[in-house]
Amino acid sequence: MSAFQLEQTYNNFINGEWVKAASGKTEPSMNPANRKEIVGHVPASGVDDLNHAVAAAKAAAKTWRSLTGAERGNYLFQAANVLERRADQVAEAMTREMGKTFPEAKGETMRGVAILRYYAGEGMRKTGDVIPSTDSEALMFTTRVPLGVVGIIAPWNFPVAIPIWKTAPALIYGNTVVLKPAQETAVTAAKVMECFEEAGIPAGVLNLVCGKGSVIGSALAEHPDVNGITFTGSNEVGKRVGASALARGAKYQLEMGGKNPVIIAADADLDLAVEGTISGGLKSTGQKCTATSRVIIERQVYDAFKEKLLSQIQEIRLGDGMSAGSWMGPCASEGQLNTVLGYIQKGQDEGAVLLAGGKRPDSIGLAEGFYVEPTVFEGVESHMSIAREEIFGPVLALISVDSLEEAIALANDSDYGLSASIYTQNVGAMLSFIRDMDAGLVRINAETAGVELQAPFGGMKMSSSHSREQGQAAIEFFTAIKTVFVKS
């Protein structure tokens, strides 16, 4: 494993150079597994820094878009190679900054490598169609053109994969980029940016500006020279980003919350269902937009499923993500820990029955981290906060039902519609679920949190805006269609 240096100072990456914030100010990035450990010091940037980055991206746009897709793809391919070589160091930065276990962080980093290689190849795919004209002497066709400057506002829960799955398609389709990472994981963002720098990305094509979302994120969404904005984060902030973009006619893409259900049918393989529920709901400490939150179980198997679930949850080992054997790390910050504990208290106040967890662990060795025990409630009703609101923590709400129809109706009783899964052996039940479930991702005998890079990603209702991320679907957001008519 590459040696990772703690307490280094990191800068913004603007116009091909590492530069301090104009104010000279920095903020510490803390290890959530041990609040006494400072991972690094990151820029506390202001609007002047953001303006500098947007100007650099705008200046680089014409030259970048004039390259062929293959030429742009080569930069992504080279960045993938560098990231692969540095995967251990990047993964360690991620684990120390946001708390997920090192194996999870390494897996995410390698996913970033795969995404870069995938989009490097997309540079050779056709981007238009020939359309028959009513004029026999004319040629009519479509082509796709880049938006120009794209702003990216990325979250802290997937600090490598999400910025890359936004950046890679933006670049391959000819846009230049200003990336605003979550301040909680700005060290990880800098490590990723170093990979693009080593790959030789031209000055101004990709820029990194670190700072508070209320300052940098807002300014990015409102900037008149930013032609498109793609955001992943909370619904509250996402709505503001979308409104700012809409007000000035910029294109926007929002990926926001989820309250993802899993249905356990009476004929389910219970061992598989328990495994998927635990993995989908508790890995990364439940801090995934696709994490399992509501567990809807047919009454015939409710007791058997609950017994197996609680038995396996008791075996989960909490600990520092860099420690071998740790299965679940801390919440990413003290604020997130307090949010989770607040929802646990709400669940009890509203009448749900606490079956497991519900508090910070007693171990002295975990006292300096933002840990919370894996938590399970039963007796949950659909009006309760823990059944309706996104918690973003390791909290499962068990709900019993009498039929598949009731289960699907309850699963759909949500403002969100990102991911949903069902465990069943019945083909008819599978087809009903696929047809009737109001979610952008529906999964059969698999956890809600699974995502593949070559497939469209996004949700319905309040989970997402209009377009999809990842796969070939990404071209819809990052380009505009131009219709061409040629007559000699």
**Is 255 one of the catalytic residues?**
yes
Q: Enter the DSSP assignment of 488.
A: -
C-beta of residue 443 within 8 angstroms of C-beta of residue 433: no
The CA distance from 114 to 112, in Å, is 5
Query: Please, which residues have CB within 8 angstroms of residue 14's CB and are 6 or more apart in sequence?
Result: 49, 52, 53, 56, 207, 208, 209
Q: What angle do CA 183, 187, 189 make, to 5 degrees?
A: 80
The CA distance from 93 to 99, in Å, is 10
Nearest in space to 97 (alpha carbons), one of 11, 18, 12, 158: 158
Catalytic residue (choose from 104, 197, 255, 373): 255
Render the burial of 87-126: b for 16+ CB within 10 Å, e for the rest: bbbbbbbbbbbbbbbbebbbebbbbbbbbbbbbbebbeee
The CA distance from 265 to 422, in Å, is 7
Q: Enter the DSSP assignment of 216.
A: I
Radius of gyration of the chain measured on its C-alpha atoms: 23
Six-digit token pair at 232? 């992943």
Active site residues: 255
